[in-house]
Structure formats: C-alpha cells, structure tokens
Chains A and B, each alone.
Chain A
Amino acid sequence: MKINRQDAKLSLAHLYIAFGAILFAGFLGLLQTLVRSETITLPASINYYQILTAHGVLMALVFTTFFIFGFMHAGVVRTSGAFTDKQRKAGWIGFWLMTIGMVLAVIMIMFNEATVLYTFYAPLQANPIFYIGLALIIIGTYFASFSIISRYRLWRKEHPDEKSPLLSYMAVATLILWLIATLGVVAAVVLQFLPWSFGWIDTINVTLTRTLFWYFGHPLVYFWLLPAYMAWYVIVPKVIGGKIFSDQLARFAFVLFILFSIPVGFHHQLLESGIGEGWKFFQVILTFAVILPSLMTAFAMFSTFEIAGRQKGGKGLFGWFKKLPWGDVRFLAPFLGMLIFIPAGAGGIINASHQLNQMIHNTVWVTGHFHITAGGTVAVTFFGISYWLLPHLKGRKLTKMMNKLGIYQVVLWAVGMGIMSSAMHISGLSGNPRRTQVTSYGGHEVASSWGAYEMAHAVGGTLLMISLILYAIVLINLAFFAPKGQEEFPIAAELNPSQKTPGWLENWKLWVGIVFALIFIAYTLPIMDLINNSPPGSSGFKYW
C-alpha cells in the first residue's frame, strides 16, 4: 500500500525541515566540543552560549518535533487511510505555524536576543519574539495533532467493532501525552514569560516557571521516545520477517507511558529550594514506575527477535541471534537504538534517585545521558526510519549501495556518540559542569583531569559530524537520485491475531481521567504552595 501524493507531500515537508535542523545543529554541536576542548576559539561576534542555545532548540524542539509529525502523519495515513481535505489542511496549517515559529526563534538566537539556552530559565529574559516563536511551534503541533486524532476517530467510525490499527493507536497515545504535557509550558509562556518580557508585568515567579517547564520537560523526552517505540513495535518485526509479539501488551505499554511520564517533573528539580522533600520523593516513585513499560518493551523486542530468528532456522540458545538481518540498515539502526537504551535507561534511574542525583546534577554526566537517550536511541532509530520512509514517500528505492552507506552512517554515529557520551559520563562524576564554555578554572587541580575528557568529546563530535555528512549524502540520493520504484512502508502483522485486545485499552476518557488524577495528586499542593508562598518576583536579566 502506498501513501497518496498529497499526504506524502505533507509528511515530506516536515521531514525536510527535520533533516536541515539536525545537519545544522550537528555542526554547531561539533563547534561546541571544539571550543570546550580549547581546540578552537569562536570569532568575537559569536558566543558559545548562543550556539549552545541554537543547538538545543534545533535538536530538542525542531528536529524531533518535525521528524515525529512527518513520521506520524505518514504512519496514520498508511494504517488508517488518507487524510480528508480538512485534516490535510489542518496538517498544513500546523506545518506553517511550526515553521514560522522556528524561524522567529532562530532569528532571535542569531541576533543574540535570546541566549537563554533551550530551557529558557527565568529570570534570564529573552526578546518576546523568541517566546512567541516557541509558542507558535506548540500551537502548530495542536493543528497537526488534530489531523491525526481526527483521522483515527474517522477510522473507528468506519470500522465500529474492530480494534484500531496499532500504529494509529500509538500515534494517538503519543499525542495525548503531548497535549497534556504542553499545558505546562503553554501556561508558563502565556501567563508568565510573554507578559513579563513585554513589560506588562514587572516580575516573574522563578520557581513556578521552572516547575511548569519540567512538568512539560520530562514527558517531552517520552514524546521523543514513543515514536521510536512505534518503529520498534510495528515496523522492526516486519523488517526482520517476524510478527508483533503481543498487540494488547504493546497498547498497554503505551497507556502506562501516558500515566507515568507526566507527574514526574520534580526529579529534574530535586536540588531545588521551595519544593518539599516529600513531594519530590513521591514524584521519584512515579518516575520509577515508568520503567515498567520499558521492561515490557524490552521483553517484546527480544521475543520478536527470537521467534523470527528461530523460524529462519536459528538453533540452540542463541543461534537465532545470528539469523537477524544485520546487513539491513532498517533493522540495524533501531537495533543499535535498543542496545544504547540499556545503559541510557540505567543512567536515567541514577539521575532520578535522590542521593545519586546529588553527585551528577548539572554536571556533564547529564549531557552525556540525554545524548545517548535522545541523541542515541531516538536519533538512530529515526535514521533507520528515514531510510525507508523517505524513498517510500518519494516513489524511489533504497538501493544496496545506499543501504551500505546507511550502515556506515549509523555505526559511525553509535561509535561517535559512545565516545562522546562515555567521556561526559565519566568526567561528570568528578563534577565537570554542563553548559560551560571552558572548564580550566584558572588551572585548579580539581579541574585538571577534565581537559582530556573534553578532547574525547571533540573526537566523538567529529565522528558524529562525519556521520551526518554521510547521512546528508544518502538522504539527497534517496530523495532525488535513487531509482524510481516502490519502497515498502513496513507494517508487521500480529503473532496471535486471534487474541482479543480488550476494549478498555481504547477507552481514552478513562486514561485521560487517570492521568489527570495523578497530575492533580502530584502537583496541586506543591504548585499552590509555590503561588501562595511566593517570594518577591524577579525582574529580567540579560547577561549576554
């Protein structure tokens, strides 16, 4: 089955922006490693924190969001059918709002009006246009979400007694998570940052804005991760010639992600004053609960691999492992993503643990952590998706040659990220801070060991840049030069199609109700406390 031309265009528009963003932001990332290792100095007109802001915004907000909507639009059309005219129109409105928002934010960063990093912590105050840009990106996603959710509802109306296609179900679950999560950052931007940066209010409640940001910031990382899980659950089994291990457990895992990824933001604020220890620990417990769906996912993946490998004649305890299609980048890339997620997930448990967090909070360990989660697991899975999605949408084929280059690209990426992130994790343990231009500290002996690790960042960063150049070559080939044909959009079938998937899994009102109840319990009292017992607010500072 092929995606119609009009919907393919919508999806492609998102993907092109995503590809542009990762290439440019990747180059900025390389510059950062070179500056920090004191290999180069930037020209006086550019400052390190400015390119760090651009890197964060373009990677964490632009690359991810555009790629995810490009992929989910295509996935919903592939599994639920073409968009109606109204849905497609909403998709385009969403695309343009997001694009305009991105351009505004990037222009402000370029003009050095918004060197506040992508977390834009108050009371550092950017130009109001920067916040408007961020708001437009989020409003754009609401239109895009409307297209997808509305297409899913239409499918269910057309097929009253059937369960929805798994990929569409997962896209809707991801969007429910996203919509609820963005409420926090929208409230912070609309009620605090915008009026404050325009000068309509004099001061801002710093800890409240940080709390609203992290209410959004943690589910944001699951918004990145869940589309990768979609590919693992639905696409990878087909690529390896296997089946989906369990449709109902896959759906249940996604529901658990909705429940446990939102009321947990305090684990980013464990060392912060103004929030009670009890509330912090309560959210730490909920944070740990999110490990359960990840354990389920790990089991489902390896079961799928084993069953497929044995069907292909793999014998003995691990014989099936050799039967997997290691030479196929559509499999190898997401597999590397899964492999990376094992240490990445373990690091996450460390970060969320009260006392362990004390050692690594705001050190470069944390940078290492999200470079192997978002930059490793998520990015490498997205690379794998793009290798079949781009030619599918363009009516071309992934050739043997491009597949081979793709393998070099993802392996190089994994090695580069491995070197860089390992060095970050290790020197973070001895206190090397994150978000810092240089760390010589006047030759202080404690900081003396950090230089060598920063050289390793630069080595890793260089490999990552080479990988991105390779990626660009393959993408350009797949989009414009690869032979015309029909590249498959792989969707796996279920292992046990006769197994019924309970209807309550699709009862969204129930899950949304439970997640709001959890949010209410975890956040109401501490937020009321931050508002009722707030210190005198802060005026804005422009320290750049």
Chain B
Amino acid sequence: MLHMHKYEKIWMIIGIITLVSFLTIVGVQAFSQTGDHAHHGAPSDKTLIDPEKVSETAPFDEPGLKQIGENEYELVMILQSYGFTPGDIEIPQGATVHIKATSIDVVHGFEIAGTSANMMVTPGHVNTMTYTFEEKGSYLILCNEYCGTGHHFMSTNLEVI
C-alpha cells in the first residue's frame, strides 16, 4: 500500500472535509426549492426549437415583455448578431422576470452585467432563467460570447423604474 506521512494525512483530511462541505453547500443551493421561484441552479432548459423558424414558433412569434402576475413578467427575447429583440426594456422595481431566450444564428451569451443573470443561448435551444430586479437603475444587457466582428456592439439597455 501507499505510505503517507502523518502530516500529509492531516493535510489531506482537512482538504477533503473542506471540499465535501463546499460541495454540499453548492449542491444544496443548486437543488433546494424554497418559495415560489427560488431556483438557484444552472440554467438548463431542454426545450428545442428550429433555429430557422424562430419567428413562427410561440412564444418567440411575439417577443417582448408580458405581465403574467402581480409584479411578475415574462421576457421573451430573440438574439442574433448583433442585437437583442426587444431592446430598451422597462421593468418596474421589485419585478420578478422570467427570461426566455433563443438564437436565430450563432451562439450568444445573455448577460445582465453585474448581476447573476447570465446564460448561454445556443441555436436550436431555448434557455430560461428568473431574476428579480430589487434596485432601480439602468442595467446593461450584453452578449458575452463571440458572435462575429460586431460582437462588441451587441447590447441593449434595461431600465428598472
């Protein structure tokens, strides 16, 4: 068998305990469901869509912001090089927004800078995530995956009022 120095054993045991506790926290946060929309897992929507028929497929035939409950909205977005449809969005403070996005061309990234709203948008798939806007202000939505030479122009503004 392998011989391990006593101190190294202690070092490894501390390491393993730290790892296991870290993973436990990460796992519990990812999978626990507390409250209505407390999903902290990674955006992993499995809905499929034909990337060439996005504008004919619901809900992407009507992209935009729709109220679906009390201070609760659905934001349906189409991404393409180099823009977001719809752009320049206004959302009331405290609103919970369910974002649904897809791409009609290449891979894009949907990011609201400085927040945890961040997901990949790959053609053929719909991706979704939920975010609650607690603070007023101007938010920057940008594409964070290279999508062509105009990639750095791909952004829009989201105003929380």
A362 touches B (CB below 8 Å): yes
What are 26 A-B contacts with C-beta separation under 8 Å?
Answer: A49-B148, A121-B145, A123-B107, A207-B124, A272-B120, A273-B46, A273-B125, A276-B44, A277-B31, A288-B19, A299-B11, A358-B42, A359-B118, A362-B118, A431-B111, A431-B112, A433-B113, A433-B144, A436-B152, A439-B152, A441-B155, A444-B138, A444-B157, A445-B138, A535-B123, A544-B149
Question: In the complex where A533-B48, A535-B48 touch, is A441 in contact with B107 (Cβ < 8 A)?
Answer: no
Interface code A477-494, partner B: CB below 8 Å = 1, 0 otherwise? Answer: 000000000000000000
Interface code A506-544, partner B: CB below 8 Å = 1, 0 otherwise? Answer: 000000000000000000000000000111111001011
Question: In the complex where A269-B120, A354-B30, A355-B29 touch, is A362 in contact with B106 (Cβ < 8 A)?
Answer: no
Interface code B46-84, partner A: CB below 8 Å = 1, 0 otherwise? Answer: 111111100000000000000000000000000001000
Distance in angstroms between the alpha carbons of A357 and B106 in the assembled complex: 22
Distance in angstroms between the alpha carbons of A105 and B40 in the assembled complex: 41
Q: Which of A115, A270, A438, A447 has the most CB of B within 10 A?
A: A270
Are B27 and A206 in contact (CB-based, < 8 A)? no
Closest 10 CB pairs of A and B: A543-B148, A431-B113, A535-B124, A362-B144, A273-B125, A433-B144, A446-B140, A273-B127, A535-B48, A270-B42
Are A252 and B2 in contact (CB-based, < 8 A)? yes
Are B44 and A536 in contact (CB-based, < 8 A)? no
Distance in angstroms between the alpha carbons of A299 and B7 in the assembled complex: 9
Are B124 and A249 in contact (CB-based, < 8 A)? no
Q: Which of B112, B121, B125 has the most CB of A within 10 A?
A: B125
B97 touches A (CB below 8 Å): no
Are A538 and B51 in contact (CB-based, < 8 A)? yes
When distances are taken between beta carbons in the complex, the residues of chain B under 8 Å from A399 are none
A79 touches B (CB below 8 Å): no
Are B147 and A249 in contact (CB-based, < 8 A)? no
B95 touches A (CB below 8 Å): no
When distances are taken between beta carbons in the complex, the residues of chain B under 8 Å from A117 are 146
Are B140 and A444 in contact (CB-based, < 8 A)? yes
Minimum CB–CB distance for A295 against chain B, Å: 4
Are B114 and A430 in contact (CB-based, < 8 A)? yes
Interface code B84-108, partner A: CB below 8 Å = 1, 0 otherwise? Answer: 0000000000000000000001110
Distance in angstroms between the alpha carbons of A50 and B27 in the assembled complex: 40
Are A272 and B44 in contact (CB-based, < 8 A)? yes
Are B43 and A271 in contact (CB-based, < 8 A)? yes
When distances are taken between beta carbons in the complex, the residues of chain A under 8 Å from B48 are 274, 533-535
Distance in angstroms between the alpha carbons of A234 and B112 in the assembled complex: 47
Are B124 and A538 in contact (CB-based, < 8 A)? yes
Residue of A nearest to B102 (CB): A273
Residue of A nearest to B151 (CB): A436
A363 touches B (CB below 8 Å): yes
When distances are taken between beta carbons in the complex, the residues of chain A under 8 Å from B106 are 121, 123-124, 538, 541, 543
Distance in angstroms between the alpha carbons of A544 and B151 in the assembled complex: 10
A45 touches B (CB below 8 Å): no
Q: Which of A123, A273, A430, A438 has the most CB of B within 10 A?
A: A273
Residue of B nearest to A361 (CB): B118
- Which of A148-156, A216-224, A279-287 contacts the other chain? A279-287
Are A285 and B151 in contact (CB-based, < 8 A)? no
Distance in angstroms between the alpha carbons of A543 and B103 in the assembled complex: 14
Question: In the complex where A273-B125, A276-B44, A544-B149 touch, is A303 in contact with B157 (Cβ < 8 A)?
Answer: no
When distances are taken between beta carbons in the complex, the residues of chain A under 8 Å from B35 are none
Question: In the complex where A252-B2, A362-B144, A441-B140 touch, is A123 in contact with B23 (Cβ < 8 A)?
Answer: no
Question: In the complex where A206-B122, A358-B118, A535-B50 touch, is A291 in contact with B19 (Cβ < 8 A)?
Answer: yes
When distances are taken between beta carbons in the complex, the residues of chain A under 8 Å from B45 are 273-274
Question: In the complex where A252-B2, A431-B111 touch, is A123 in contact with B46 (Cβ < 8 A)?
Answer: no
Are A248 and B127 in contact (CB-based, < 8 A)? no
Are A534 and B152 in contact (CB-based, < 8 A)? no
When distances are taken between beta carbons in the complex, the residues of chain B under 8 Å from A354 are 26-27, 29-30, 40-42
Distance in angstroms between the alpha carbons of A188 and B95 in the assembled complex: 42
Distance in angstroms between the alpha carbons of A361 and B115 in the assembled complex: 11
Interface residues of B (CB under 8 A from A): 1-5, 7-8, 11-12, 15-16, 19, 22-23, 26-27, 29-31, 40-52, 81, 105-107, 109, 111-116, 118-128, 138-140, 142-152, 155, 157
A385-405 CB contacts (< 8 Å) to partner B: none
A112-129 CB contacts (< 8 Å) to partner B: 115, 117, 121-124
A434 touches B (CB below 8 Å): yes
Minimum CB–CB distance for A367 against chain B, Å: 11
Are B115 and A303 in contact (CB-based, < 8 A)? no
Minimum CB–CB distance for A534 against chain B, Å: 7
A234-255 CB contacts (< 8 Å) to partner B: 246, 248-249, 252
Are B44 and A275 in contact (CB-based, < 8 A)? yes
Distance in angstroms between the alpha carbons of A275 and B43 in the assembled complex: 9
Minimum CB–CB distance for B128 against chain A, Å: 8
A432 touches B (CB below 8 Å): yes
A198-226 CB contacts (< 8 Å) to partner B: 205-207, 210
Distance in angstroms between the alpha carbons of A441 and B158 in the assembled complex: 13
Residue of B nearest to A500 (CB): B3
A50-70 CB contacts (< 8 Å) to partner B: 52
Are B116 and A355 in contact (CB-based, < 8 A)? yes
A431-478 CB contacts (< 8 Å) to partner B: 431-439, 441-442, 444-447
Question: In the complex where A123-B105, A354-B29, A433-B109 touch, is A288 in contact with B23 (Cβ < 8 A)?
Answer: yes
Residue of B nearest to A432 (CB): B113
Distance in angstroms between the alpha carbons of A434 and B142 in the assembled complex: 11
Minimum CB–CB distance for A483 against chain B, Å: 43
When distances are taken between beta carbons in the complex, the residues of chain A under 8 Å from B126 are 273
Distance in angstroms between the alpha carbons of A27 and B82 in the assembled complex: 29
Minimum CB–CB distance for A536 against chain B, Å: 4
A171-212 CB contacts (< 8 Å) to partner B: 205-207, 210
Distance in angstroms between the alpha carbons of A272 and B102 in the assembled complex: 11
Residue of A nearest to B2 (CB): A248
When distances are taken between beta carbons in the complex, the residues of chain A under 8 Å from B151 are 49, 435-437
Are B46 and A431 in contact (CB-based, < 8 A)? no
Distance in angstroms between the alpha carbons of A434 and B118 in the assembled complex: 13
